[in-house]
Amino acid sequence: MARRRPRVGTLLSLACACAAACGGGSTTPSTPSSPTGVAPPRPAVALSVTSSPLATTAVIGANGKALHTLAVQVTFRETGGAAAHVTALTLALLDDGGLLAPAGDRAADIAIGANATVQHELQQAFEVDRSPEMARVRITGRARDAAGAAFDLTMIEAVVRLTIPAPPPVPTVMFSGAGDIGLCGSPGPEATAKLLDETPGVVFTLGDNAYPHASAENFSNCYDPSWGRHRSRTRPIAGNHDWYNNLWGAYFDYFGASAGIPGLGYYSYDLGGWHVLALNSNLHGNVGSPQYAWARADLAATRSACIVALWHHPRYSSGPGGNDTTMKDVWKLLQEHGAELVLSGHDHIYERYAPQDADGRLDLARGIRQFVVGTGGYTLYDLGQLPANVEARDNRSWGILRLTLHPLGYEWEFVPVAGAAFRDGGTAACSR
């Protein structure tokens, strides 16, 4: 007959008996005879656990594993007429496939008097790759008698139900901004900053934050009076005007830790269900470069369903800057990992492309949609010849790109400053 697994609520009790009773290996200490020739009593400790009070809670960690916290009420009964002291306990979580997590060893200090019963609650956290509905908790331990002789407690098991609460819903977040912003004397920065005043969420910049170059004075006078009022919620990237002659110190001084490591300026973060890569097109992005290696490792580690990348110089543009190849290899890498969007500035225009690959070929299934949003406040540029795959463009309106990032998709809207008429908007699902 097959051995049945104990049911939830069943009391399991296995006693540590003396060698004579067990008929073999001793689970009780060997003690010398007394001077009178009568052996002193030896402890016999019965360990039991009722599975009904077993409680497990779980959270999903950043690594995707479930962390179960198990609480077990254990009863120790001494039936041999001698005091004992429990010194160590081990809890293991397992199912029919074996151990779910490494056993947790823990020191104990539990005194049990002769013929006494002691209750003790154990708690142990287990990080597991899989969480079956039903599992078993296995408890073993060590104890010693009054003379200090050690002995093992007989192993017991009890059934436990593993429950994983539904993960909290992934929030929808707003992600808004533009590039090419802080020109002293232009009404553009203040006009676009007013749009941010009405827009909740995270603000991004697409580089060239202060003109004509990054300096404490230019950030103070040309950027801070407008977009600076949103600095606490801004995640910037650097443009060529922030990086001229490697004089990037004022850029990092102004934005602080939000701009990444000084001298590098590339970093990433999660936003709702999205992973955001803020990259630096003033540095090399080709295969073999430090930035490329960092981006490859970062993308391999993300578990987000959707990915957006930002850098200053656009891979494609019909503005005077034209197509830039600095980040072509990174574009390929992003496409391999199912990225949805690339946001750039540099050319002072607005332009939206259909999803395409790193060589400009239309790819509606796996391509990346690019936005050029150099409309933060600097003088706007002329448009060149209409390139392939452009779906919308404008060079008459300052404005911001407002993205609504859903867990599995996004909405985009180009919001012009007051008095301007051009608008663009739409929705798409993530393909990753």
CATH of domain 173-429: 3.60.21.10
Other C-beta atoms lying within 10 Å of the C-beta of residue 66: 19
Choice between 321 and 122, residue whose per-residue pLDDT is larger: 321
**Confidence at residue 50, expressed as pLDDT on a 0 to 100 scale:** 52
Give the dihedral of Cα atoms 30, 31, 36, 40; nearest 10 deg.
-100
CATH 3.60.21.10 in the chain: give the residue spans: 173-429
Integer Cα distance of 188 and 182 in angstroms: 8
Q: Where are the beta strands (DSSP E) in 283-340?
A: 306-310
Please check whether residue 229 is in contact with residue 253, taking contact to mean a CB–CB distance below 8 angstroms.
no
CA–CA gap between residue 47 and residue 37 (Å, rounded): 31
Torsion of CA 353, 357, 363, 364, to 10 degrees: -50
Secondary structure (H, E, C), 336-404:
HCCCCEEEECCCCCEEEECCECCCCCECCCCCEEEEEECCCCCCCCCCCCCCCCEEEEECCCCEEEEEE
The residues that bridge with 202 in the sheet, in sequence order, are 175
pLDDT score for 4: 40
Give the predicted TM-score (pTM) of the model. Answer: 0.69
pLDDT at position 155: 81
Distance CA 220, CA 96 (A): 66
Q: Which of 419, 417, 377 is nearest to 186 (CA)?
A: 377
Inform me whether the pLDDT recorded for 370 exceeds 60: yes
Short-list 7, 83, 14, 84, CA closest to 47: 14
Residues of the chain with CATH 2.60.40.1470: 11-29+43-161
Strands, DSSP E only, in 179-224? 202-205
Q: Which listed CATH number (3.40.50.620, 2.60.40.1470, 2.40.37.20, 2.120.10.30) goes with 11-29+43-161?
A: 2.60.40.1470
Convert the pLDDT of each residue in 278-319 to its tens digit: 999 999 999 999 999 999 999 999 999 999 999 999 999 999
Q: Find the helix packing angle between 328-336 and 290-301, rounded to 10°.
A: 10
Strand order in the sheet with 84-95: 98-112, 84-95, 134-145, 150-161
Q: Look at residue 330 and tell me whether its pLDDT is greater than 90.
A: yes
